[in-house]
Structure 1
Amino acid sequence: MARMIPPVIDRGAPPGERRLFDRLRSDPGTDGWTVLHSLHIAQHLRRVEGEVDFVVIVPRLGVLCVEVKSHRSVGRDNAGTWHLGAQRPPTRSPFVQASEAMHSLRKYLGQGRLDLTHIPFWSAVWFTDASAAAVPPSPEWHNWQLLDRDDLIRQPVSRALTAVLVQARRHLVSTRSSFNPALDEPTDQQCNQLAARLRPRFEMAISPVDVQRLRDDERASFLEEQYEALDLIDAEPRALFTGAAGTGKTFLALESARRASLQGQSVRLVCFNRLLGRWLNAQLADLPGVTAGTLHKAMTSLAKVDPPKEAEPSWWRYELPDLALGALLDADDQADVLIVDEAQDLCTPEYLDVMDLMVKGGLTAGRWLMFGDFQRQAIYEVGDGREVLAARAPSFFRPVLHHNCRNTPRIGQAAVQLTGLGTVYKKFRRSDDGVNVEYVQYTSPGEQELKLAQALDLLQRDHYPPEQIVVISPRAQGVAHGCASSALRERLKPYESVTGKKTGYTTIHAFKGLDAPAVIVTDIESAEGPDAEALLYIALSRGADRLIVLANNQAMHQMARNLGRRNR
């Protein structure tokens, strides 16, 4: 699949551009290609790229500038005037627009001292929503430069664009003595140089906030199929959704709460992790009848108790549930619907006792939805709670989520390959942006500090502002917490209290259930064994778009060995 720059497209883009964008990023035949889409970017800057809808860089074939027209009807009269749908006739031919943009682009690249002598540059026009049968031949363009609706729907886009570039190369052989097709240019290196030269100008006008908004919109569209799953089980009063990290469980929990609230039902949504509970509460704060947060916070509120200072795990696991049960038995505080996220950490007999009294009808006959990853995210030694839940509620629906909606394919594949999960994902909804996971080795605490600062610099150069980056560690006293460098300390702040232009840091345990556009994983000292692999899986799956892993020598060798063993 092609590397798309930018990686997402605005939903406000013309329909033809959106359709072509989606086909380019999902067509296996575009593997190794780089595609730059200029909507809103260079138009805003009034630079030459703004006149190019798509710049397609294809190794060993060339660079193609594509002008896209989304009109339902296309025609050209005897006077040479174009008629595109109902709009006023344009003053310039679409082919002239494409050609002028291509030549301007080539001139700009040449100013960067790139050797373009043997790289074919060409242009084409694609009428994505109309048949071009009514457009008569003209000496102004070659027939193979014109693509229409049939070319989009009857063949892969890679085949259609490859055909244009092949014809362009043949034309250059016959008309330009300096062109040598035997060189098979552009090479992979030249493609990278072209993309690097163009990428800043295409990206500089779209702010990180806009990119994040587009990514959120994209993820929302990817979750539509999971929302359809909720529609299918409306008749099922009880359901346990299971799925690996990134399959949309938390977003489905939110959607379930919203739907129940709109129907006038009272809802209690509980989870395990404090940071996730705080985020869920913020998302649902304005909905009537909805209470959201951690189960432990709900229990302390019900029992009207403050946790002891330095409370032992046994107090949270056994004593607090007993106190909450007493309060629930004395009160009429049951919700119409119970929703549980991170169910793998909450399906213990003690917690289920409490949840049984939280919902009308109890777990056996009440209405509840639970979401969990029992395969790899149950890291609190509570066992497989599905059996315990089944003993309380013999009848419930068990849908499984297989599509990863969070991570780019390279991040998601790294998470499963390094931890032996194999084919846990049937599909990645995100497109492959060509950016690999970065593994950085360190040999001392001081060197890890330096590598962390360099990782922050790299991500910020790639347009990730500090607040979109999160540093996570298996240790509470990790490198971000105890760094000696005052300059590095100035850039970091505990995630719970992060404000302004700072990067938050926290533990892998605390960040479970959440994600961030860019994640730096630090202090990895072991990558083998069930406990280390479970933590590593959670850590790697937190990064939506970018992931950098800082590991010592031992862990780096272990990860390399694991990848080699599982790729055989």
Structure 2
Amino acid sequence: MMPPYCPDTAPPGEKSLYAALASSRNTDDWIVLHSIGIADHVRQVEGEADFVVIVPGRGVLVIEIKSHLSIDRLDDGRWKLGNDAPTSRGPFQQASEAMYSLRNFLTRKEVDFRSIPMLSAVWFTSVRASTMLPSTPEWHQWQVLDSEDLRKGADSAVLRVLAAGAAHLDQKIHHFSHGGPGPNGAVAQHVASVLRPRFEVAIVPGDGRRARDAQLVTFIEEQYLALDSMAENNAVLFAGPAGSGKTLLAVEAAQREAAMGRSGRLLCFNRLLGKRLASELGQVEGLSVGTLHQELLQLANVRPPSNGGSSFWERELPNLAIEVMLAGEFPQCDFLVVDEIQDIATDLVLDVLDLMVVGGLAGGRLLFFGDFERQAIFESGDGRKLLRQRSPQLVSRKLTENCRNLPRIGYQVNLISKLDPGYQRFRRQDDGVDPSFTPYTAGQDQSEKLVQAVRQLRDDGFDLNEIVILSPLRSGSTAETTTDQWLRQVLRSFGGEQARPGQLQYATIHAFKGLEAPAVVVTDLDRSAVPGFESLLYVGLTRATDRLIALIESRTIRAVLGGKA
């Protein structure tokens, strides 16, 4: 599918056909182009083709979509579609003109159509047009597609039209399909590349980096309006999906509180994120920054045991910290800012937070930031419900604008992770490069594909230290176990610091949670081998600001896109 997502602004009929073709098991070798602009139209100043479907060995079909709930032909011959104004230019004429415009363009580009059926059809996605429209010399009956065709199978309907159209051409043009109709696979790819070519704008990598950094800073500043709108509330939960600026808002909120002379804490869950935040905010007076568990270790004045399991971190350590605070040996803070709250919102941890801040959870100054979509990869239980029970004054502010990812990455995340409502607006301008999903066979060494992915990113202008390799596997990932000599020379385990030039960092998705990189390659995406796969997939994909390549097991990719494994 090109592009790999259907925009939210598309008409409902286009969304329905897009979804039907994308989820079909019979369209793997098809190329479907959605919304092709036509600058040199045979009749108008410019036009558009809703869909161009290229089927190897069958032909090319240009489809005009009509989503209207009613169709009518007036006495004067004009068409009346739904609530639209009557028009003398009917949908079949629109489809035919779009088809001939594209055919003329392809012919000028030396595409040989001598045995390639190029046809047009109209798809009335909401009505049973096949039984409503009368027989007429203005169109062939096989050019009419309707809601029943969509329901019974969009792929079979397209094949039926191409077969009928090819038979018609055989009757009119002697030996048209002799030797079998085209296009073959190579010609199909060529037609697609001519109609929707990939191109690279003339911008040097340094300019691209500066523009990206400036964009991200500007968009985050605009997100600060969310803080301003909640300034009169004493306790606020800012909730939104990955990329909506929660961590940077948490940083800004903590700095604002400290600037007013208050003392407080900025806590998070992820160790590497805590390390980075502590480095950035270490000089802010009155502000303590780190992870929750670092804070608890310091409070309890203990070191973690070498064999300490989940029971130590989840129960024993919080209880030790609570004992210290109840003994009156701990000064409460004026405010509490917590990022990644979805990962630490348990009853015992909330008991700790209640004792940390003046006024407690019921009346203290609280600013919580969390993603309750699919990013709670460490949480057990309903954290949002617990927060509301323990802090009745807590009000919510939803963040739905994505200021991190390019739109094509965000749209893929919306589709794959089934976010509800998901991203409703993207602040960054798209650059026309689709995320890449490369299939592999379960058990296959992905090293060669990983090398290809990194080299592709290098060709696109990204330095090695701007690329991060992520895996859902805590041990035994492709980056960790590869025998490829070049990879072994450049790979470095991510420790929270910026990579040096020439270094290619790798980490688990768990460790990189809350962080981001210009280009990300996610490996080892096999849902049968990864517990909590959907949440980890969501977190991993949203780490990329500009380029995303995913190496995904072949059955898994069909499952996450809505098909059957």
Fold conserved between structures, TM > 0.5: yes
Distance 1:546 1:377 in 2: 20
How many angstroms does 1:543 deviate by?
1.0
Distance 2:227 2:538 in 1: 27
**C-alpha contact (below 8 Å) 2:470/2:508 kept by paired residues:** yes
Counterpart of 2:309? Answer: 312
Distance 1:443 1:318 in 2: 41
Alignment pair present for 1:232 and 2:232? no
Aligned pair in 2 of structure 1 residues 368, 194: CA closer, same or farther (>3 Å)? closer
How many angstroms does 1:193 deviate by?
6.5
- Aligned residue for 1:322, secondary structure, equals helix
**C-alpha contact (below 8 Å) 2:445/2:478 kept by paired residues:** no
Distance 1:233 1:422 in 2: 23
How many angstroms does 1:189 deviate by?
4.5
How many angstroms does 1:418 deviate by?
1.2
How many angstroms does 1:548 deviate by?
0.5
**C-alpha contact (below 8 Å) 1:527/1:558 kept by paired residues:** no
User: Structure 1 counterpart of 2:203, which letter?
Assistant: E
User: Structure 2 counterpart of 1:540, which letter?
Assistant: L
Distance 1:389 1:300 in 2: 23
How many angstroms does 1:399 deviate by?
0.9
Correspondence list, 1:159-238, <5 A:
183=105, 189=193, 195-196=199-200, 199=201, 202-204=202-204, 206-207=205-206, 210-238=207-235
Aligned pair in 2 of structure 1 residues 384, 212: CA closer, same or farther (>3 Å)? farther
Correspondence list, 1:314-463, <5 A:
314-329=311-326, 330-443=328-441, 447-463=445-461
How many angstroms does 1:259 deviate by?
0.8
Aligned pair in 2 of structure 1 residues 418, 194: CA closer, same or farther (>3 Å)? closer
Distance 1:470 1:541 in 2: 13
Aligned pair in 2 of structure 1 residues 271, 384: CA closer, same or farther (>3 Å)? same
Aligned pair in 2 of structure 1 residues 552, 306: CA closer, same or farther (>3 Å)? same
User: Structure 2 counterpart of 1:505, which letter?
Assistant: Y
How many angstroms does 1:183 deviate by?
4.3
User: Structure 2 counterpart of 1:482, which letter?
Assistant: T
User: Structure 1 counterpart of 2:266, which letter?
Assistant: L
- Aligned residue for 1:398, secondary structure, equals strand
Counterpart of 1:545? Answer: 546
User: Structure 1 counterpart of 2:558, which letter?
Assistant: H
Distance 1:340 1:541 in 2: 21
Distance 1:214 1:194 in 2: 21
How many angstroms does 1:463 deviate by?
1.1
Distance 2:496 2:512 in 1: 14
Structure 2 counterpart of 1:300, from 272, 297, 302: 297
Distance 1:437 1:280 in 2: 29
Distance 2:489 2:530 in 1: 36
How many angstroms does 1:486 deviate by?
2.4
Distance 2:461 2:561 in 1: 29
How many angstroms does 1:416 deviate by?
2.1
Q: What is the count of residue pairs matched by the alignment?
A: 391
Distance 1:268 1:59 in 2: 57
- Could you tell me which runs of 5 or more consecutive residues in structure 2 were left unpaired when the two chains were aligned: 4-8, 11-36, 42-102, 110-190
User: Structure 2 counterpart of 1:431, which letter?
Assistant: Q
Counterpart of 1:256? Answer: 253
- Aligned residue for 1:305, secondary structure, equals coil
How many angstroms does 1:527 deviate by?
7.7
Aligned pair in 2 of structure 1 residues 194, 430: CA closer, same or farther (>3 Å)? closer
How many angstroms does 1:447 deviate by?
4.1
**C-alpha contact (below 8 Å) 1:415/1:536 kept by paired residues:** no
**C-alpha contact (below 8 Å) 2:265/2:333 kept by paired residues:** yes
Alignment pair present for 1:514 and 2:515? yes
Correspondence list, 1:13-162, <5 A:
60=39
Aligned pair in 2 of structure 1 residues 543, 331: CA closer, same or farther (>3 Å)? same
Aligned pair in 2 of structure 1 residues 183, 412: CA closer, same or farther (>3 Å)? closer
Counterpart of 1:274? Answer: 271
- Aligned residue for 1:521, secondary structure, equals strand
Distance 1:529 1:489 in 2: 24
**C-alpha contact (below 8 Å) 2:344/2:379 kept by paired residues:** no
Distance 2:40 2:531 in 1: 47
Cα-Cα RMSD: 3.2
For residues 348-387 of structure 1, the C-alpha deviation after alignment (integer angstroms, 9 at most, x for no partner) is 1111111112111111111010011122111224211122
Distance 2:556 2:105 in 1: 43
For residues 248-280 of structure 1, the C-alpha deviation after alignment (integer angstroms, 9 at most, x for no partner) is 111110110111121111120011111111111
For residues 80-112 of structure 1, the C-alpha deviation after alignment (integer angstroms, 9 at most, x for no partner) is xxxxxxxxxxxxxxxxxxxxxxxxxxxxxxxxx
**C-alpha contact (below 8 Å) 1:517/1:544 kept by paired residues:** yes
TM (norm. structure 2) is 0.64
User: Structure 1 counterpart of 2:246, which letter?
Assistant: K
How many angstroms does 1:242 deviate by?
0.8
* Identical residues among aligned pairs (%): 41
**C-alpha contact (below 8 Å) 2:521/2:548 kept by paired residues:** yes
Counterpart of 2:153? Answer: none
Aligned pair in 2 of structure 1 residues 213, 304: CA closer, same or farther (>3 Å)? farther
User: Structure 2 counterpart of 1:481, which letter?
Assistant: E
**C-alpha contact (below 8 Å) 1:416/1:537 kept by paired residues:** no
**C-alpha contact (below 8 Å) 1:528/1:558 kept by paired residues:** no
User: Structure 1 counterpart of 2:233, which letter?
Assistant: E
Distance 2:422 2:297 in 1: 37
**C-alpha contact (below 8 Å) 1:337/1:360 kept by paired residues:** yes
Aligned pair in 2 of structure 1 residues 335, 394: CA closer, same or farther (>3 Å)? same
How many angstroms does 1:218 deviate by?
1.0
**C-alpha contact (below 8 Å) 2:336/2:366 kept by paired residues:** yes
For residues 186-218 of structure 1, the C-alpha deviation after alignment (integer angstroms, 9 at most, x for no partner) is 89846877944xx3xx223x41xx433322221
For residues 19-45 of structure 1, the C-alpha deviation after alignment (integer angstroms, 9 at most, x for no partner) is xxxxxxxx99xxxxxxxxxxxxxxxxx
Alignment pair present for 1:491 and 2:523? no
**C-alpha contact (below 8 Å) 2:276/2:496 kept by paired residues:** no
- Aligned residue for 1:351, secondary structure, equals helix
Distance 1:528 1:474 in 2: 10
Counterpart of 1:134? Answer: none
Aligned pair in 2 of structure 1 residues 284, 527: CA closer, same or farther (>3 Å)? farther
**Could you tell which deviates more after superposition, 416-425 or 458-467?**
416-425
**C-alpha contact (below 8 Å) 1:265/1:337 kept by paired residues:** yes
Distance 2:197 2:312 in 1: 60
Counterpart of 2:479? Answer: 480
**C-alpha contact (below 8 Å) 1:527/1:559 kept by paired residues:** no
Q: Which has the higher helix share?
A: 1
